Structure 1
């Protein structure tokens, strides 16, 4: 429950309290702490290292964001690179066409992603508190107070200037705010397993379905394979027992063979919802990741969308808390990310429905879509760009330069790669060679290595905030940088 009590006398104990230590919360907390802010991260689960995970796909845009934090190369060394997506047995999407330093999909367990993000957060002095559950919160004009309970049921309060809920689909933060989570279950009784295989699949990642069943098989690159499957004729509750024989049966029904799977280290059953919170912000409290939106696993966009939520919010919180931007900047988090969450719900929902196609009409529609994506290059390029995150952009104001709101690629500048410069967590003003306007201390100056005359202001999350073909003086740029 959220109310508006009178301001208390308790001091603010931290700048930002992050609830939930999944990939979204870890990246957010690490960014804020790296910016010099005090950050406390609470997690209901005890601290432990697990080899069990649902997410396994890291898309190109997420790799770019990790590269801008010096983490991509380490993570890539732990995973398997997929350069083509095989869908429905006939459709191959060439990821090599992506205009990115990472023109592929990286298959690696979620715990590897969490590992690199947690080490970064710890090195930046994030205060981790595992075994700590949020049970309530209230906020006033200046701060948020969270009521938490530790593993021994000891109640305590934590006070922060802002709070971010990154605590998943059953978000205690969202419930404490009283926000609804409207939507429906799009698919039930999905089975997941990590197994060994006697026979290697034809491709490192493939999706096969025949109307009665579908299966996804992905290689982790270390001898383990992730298998995800669904059988139309076995729709049971999540609590129903599941064993390797059921996984084998589903795989044979969809693929024609179970590839000799054996030695499962993890088997689970779950259902997938399509839900989105109507608002990502209530006063000084924000939602990100699965706490704000959840959708089908098709396309592997869940963890990626959450990480990109965090990258969008972190620099804005840091700019406001460090006095570099007005508090109104925080309004843009919801206006930019809520439409992205809705778009991911639509695209992942379309993919899962194509995989589940059963009636003659549905199968005909899938054939049309497959043919379109196979033969019309602009259509397949747009699909690849959206699923990978490369094609995501944000609205620009009327009369803005056509680059405004677009993702900035990893530009090769006179001072080095853009992603390397972004590791400072600051905005970057790119100007033609020989021009270095006087800038605020928190803005980095960079120059084109060639003869290009466009000036760009790149946000810390790698999106272009402003662009111009004109020559500008320091006086011209002052109002822009002040905003």
Structure 2
């Protein structure tokens, strides 16, 4: 089990008022709480589990856009050192995705366990002053025009009440926050009886990252870079409940049938069986309460987008809450509503793309297998189609509608420009808006910009011919451009 600096915990002397309560200390909650605390917001993060990082986590892939978000927090390079980077992914035995073409400093997929992401995010949250309450379980909540009141049981089973200006549920697929709000979570299972294991291999795989199968089976293999490999498999003939025991022989058999070899897998450090749902809450905001990560959306593991989507939810929401709580937002309700309007369509798109990928992997009729072959050929032969697919999976292609009265590139991801003061994503580590201007240019900001001029990070283009001013949001998206 990976360890980190023990976070600040509280006992009976804990204050009962905080500006933001975050429920759930997974990656999404940790990034959100760390962002808010860095911005000077008083944050309490509540987790029903005891403190610690389990190595039995399904998430393992960190995509380019998430690495850019972590770079804006000074964590990306350290995280990259914990795993292995892959420049190519092979799907269905015939489609090679060349990730080195991604327009990013991080033109690859990073394979590293989720607990490494959590370790770095928790360390940052601790340093920023987040108050942690582990072993504390949400029992209910209510809200009025000014506050949210949450009822808990503490580690000793005693009742506990905490009040906050806002509350964010990042507490996973079985979210107690979502349940307390009475929100539905429509959808259903997309695939059942997946087996998952971390193993060692006697033989090196030909492809570092591959997904292949016959339609009756498929298997996935990816290296962590430290001698361990993540293997995931599925068999149409072995559809049993999650509670059914799974052993290495079953994992080997599925892998042999899908890939033609089990590569001499041995010494598993853990094995699990699970199913995967496709679900999405209809609303990510109810008054002063928000949902993010798996509490808001859950989908198939295809494409490895689950943890990544949740982290990007947090990056989108954190600066908006901070701007409202610091009084920097001219239209606070509209800014908070934009979390729903920006992130809900992204969650729906991830459901569609990950669902399509897993259904292609499960294709077994002549018609569906022909469709899979056609899709693979199109993506291989048509570069724009391949670029769009990689943009969606990597997160680099995600864009939001421009603010009212603005035009493109407002709403698009800001590339990591080299500026006189340093790289853009290094400047974003302050957690504030960055205004990039020509030499000597100080344009008037739009009156609707949710930023105090005193908090702006100012930067200058290195190219003296560039005359445009650009205002970049703390989450690395363009908010406004002068022309």
TM-score (norm 1): 0.94
Note the C-alpha offset of 1:468: 2.3
Residue 134 in structure 1 maps to residue 138 in structure 2:
yes
In 2, distance between residues paired with 1:233 and 1:142?
Answer: 55
Residue 422 in structure 1 maps to residue 425 in structure 2:
no
Counterparts in 2 of 1:334-345, with a 5 A limit?
A: 334-345=340-351
1:479 maps to none
SS of residue matched to 1:308: helix
1:442 maps to 455
In 2, distance between residues paired with 1:252 and 1:203?
Answer: 15
Q: Contact 1:410–1:418 at 8 Å: present in 2 too?
A: yes
1:26 maps to 30
Q: Deviations over 1:333-364 (max 9, x none)?
A: 00000000000000000000000001000000
Note the C-alpha offset of 1:453: 1.2
Residue 312 in structure 1 maps to residue 316 in structure 2:
yes
Counterparts in 2 of 1:148-167, with a 5 A limit?
A: 148-167=152-171
In 1, distance between residues paired with 2:405 and 2:430?
Answer: 30
1:405 maps to 411
Q: Contact 1:163–1:285 at 8 Å: present in 2 too?
A: yes
Q: Deviations over 1:113-170 (max 9, x none)?
A: 0000000000011111111110100011111011011232111101111000000000
In 2, distance between residues paired with 1:144 and 1:200?
Answer: 54
In 2, distance between residues paired with 1:440 and 1:350?
Answer: 45
In 1, distance between residues paired with 2:403 and 2:332?
Answer: 19
2:389 maps to 383
In 1, distance between residues paired with 2:56 and 2:405?
Answer: 49
In 2, distance between residues paired with 1:157 and 1:82?
Answer: 47
Q: Contact 2:53–2:118 at 8 Å: present in 1 too?
A: no
TM-score (norm 2): 0.94
SS of residue matched to 1:42: strand
Note the C-alpha offset of 1:12: 6.3
Q: Contact 1:12–1:143 at 8 Å: present in 2 too?
A: no
Note the C-alpha offset of 1:50: 2.3
1:324 maps to 328
Q: Contact 2:443–2:469 at 8 Å: present in 1 too?
A: no
Note the C-alpha offset of 1:437: 4.9
1:214 maps to 218
Q: 2:107 aligns with which of 99, 103, 106?
A: 103
1:181 maps to 185
1:453 maps to 467
Task: Say how many residue pairs are matched.
Answer: 459
1:55 maps to 59
Note the C-alpha offset of 1:455: 1.2
Provide structure 1 residue ranges, at least 5 long, that are not aligned to the other structure: 1-10, 470-483
